[in-house]
Amino acid sequence: MYHISVLTGRQDEDDFGERLRDVARVEYCPPGDEDELADRLHDTDIIICHAEPITASLLEELDDLKLIVVLSTRSDNVDIKAAHEKGVMVINNTSYCVDDIADHACAMILALIRQLPEYQSDIRTNSRWEFGSIPWPLHRVSKNLIGLVGFGHVGRAVASRLQAFGCKIQAYDPFVSEKFMMESSVRPVDFDKLLQTSDVVSLHMPLNESTRYIFQDEQFEAMKKGAMFVNCCRGGLVDEAALYHAVDDGHIRSAALDALSTEHPSPMLLKMIARPEFLLTPSVSFHSVEAVRDIRDDAERYIRLFLAGHYDELPVVTLRDNE
């Protein structure tokens, strides 16, 4: 019988032990340092993990390991190169929470356009029930041009939702063909034009060495005066100090963030919390009861496919995926 190790100290309600008891012995492994993990995982065939680091040195100790299942859309916690060199397959699920993230991003975009954070703050702080107390003009949702930086699964889902509100959408993504964008009724533009012309800029791109801090002072200065900024993606894409200054000096109207490069507690987060122009949520965009159920259902299905030898049906992570 196969041995599966779940890297968590908690055996939750949706128990992989129950799900897979006909094909494997499932063990829940509490967090520990690398030496402790190597000892606990020494005879493991399959690892199920979230964001726990699976390093090259740990992989070197695991001679029986055949598969790593990452319960996430990302897999940057795993040394993919080392896994491939050792013949270990790595799979993740790039689509399980697309609807949740897209819904959250659209909720943030709509909240900024309709000035909900500013009016809520004005009511709470000043006990003022007054239209027009916010200095920026309030435009109809459909009159806003939305610029998407990234047109993958989430970007496309955001576009289709906002098109239903009558919004015009433009997008920049060097890895997606202009023809595909136009077939989705989205205008392809270069990065500079997107910044200069969009009323709302929303990020939907991976974090890697080429995209880290892609938004700094220069990019915020290039954006249209009074534009809004949304990041439901990765915190490391944005220099939050530069964003704060762009909002503080009145060039950027408002911003909504679900991810920060350094999360709570941090001085920058505390500064943003104090400002009505910022709408912040604590990395919750991916989450829903349904998303959790989906990723566990998919993980079980992937493991059964792997054990049956149906490798061509699995979402295998390649080296290029993590570049």
Whether 304 shows a pLDDT value over 90: the answer reads yes
Where does residue 226 fall: left (phi above 0), alpha (psi -120 to 50 degrees), or beta otherwise? left
Looking at the structure, tell me whether residues 154 and 211 fall in a common domain: yes
pLDDT 10s digits, 261-299: 987 778 888 899 999 999 999 999 999 999 999 999 999
**Residue 322 confidence (pLDDT):** 58
Whether 320 shows a pLDDT value over 70: the answer reads no
Question: What b/e sequence results for 12-28 when a residue is b if at least 16 CB atoms lie within 10 Å of its CB, and e otherwise?
Answer: eeeebeebbeeebebeb
Residues pairing with 301 in the sheet: none
Query: Which CATH number fits the domain that encloses residue 162?
Result: 3.40.50.720
**pTM given for the model:** 0.90
Average predicted confidence (pLDDT) for the chain: 94
Domain that holds residue 194: 98-280
pLDDT 10s digits, 59-86: 999 999 999 999 998 898 999 999 999 9
Q: State the pLDDT confidence band at 321, using cuts at 50, 70 and 90.
A: low
**Residue 191 confidence (pLDDT):** 98
Looking at the structure, tell me whether residues 183 and 237 fall in a common domain: yes
Mean pLDDT of 202-225: 96
Q: Report H helices in the chain.
A: 16-19, 34-40, 56-60, 80-85, 98-113, 116-126, 153-163, 178-183, 191-197, 217-222, 240-248, 267-273, 289-307
Sign of CA dihedral 174, 175, 181, 182: positive
Please provide residue 322's backbone torsions phi and psi, each rounded to the nearest 5 degrees: -105, 10
Looking at the structure, tell me whether residues 82 and 196 fall in a common domain: no
Looking at the structure, tell me whether residues 111 and 153 fall in a common domain: yes
Looking at the structure, tell me whether residues 133 and 273 fall in a common domain: yes
Looking at the structure, tell me whether residues 172 and 34 fall in a common domain: no
* Tokens describing residue 94: 């790039």
Strand (E) or helix (H) holding 63: none
Note whether 237 and 207 are within 8 A (CB): yes
Looking at the structure, tell me whether residues 55 and 144 fall in a common domain: no
pLDDT 10s digits, 124-182: 999 999 888 898 999 999 999 999 999 999 999 999 999 999 999 999 999 999 999 99
Looking at the structure, tell me whether residues 102 and 162 fall in a common domain: yes
Mean pLDDT of 101-122: 97
Looking at the structure, tell me whether residues 194 and 251 fall in a common domain: yes
Whether 9 shows a pLDDT value over 60: the answer reads no
Looking at the structure, tell me whether residues 303 and 257 fall in a common domain: no
Domain count along the chain = 2
Looking at the structure, tell me whether residues 63 and 208 fall in a common domain: no
Residues pairing with 46 in the sheet: 4, 67
Number of H helices, E strands in the chain: 13, 12
Residue 175's alpha-carbon distances to 150, 158, 171, 244, in angstroms, are 9, 18, 11, 30
Looking at the structure, tell me whether residues 198 and 242 fall in a common domain: yes
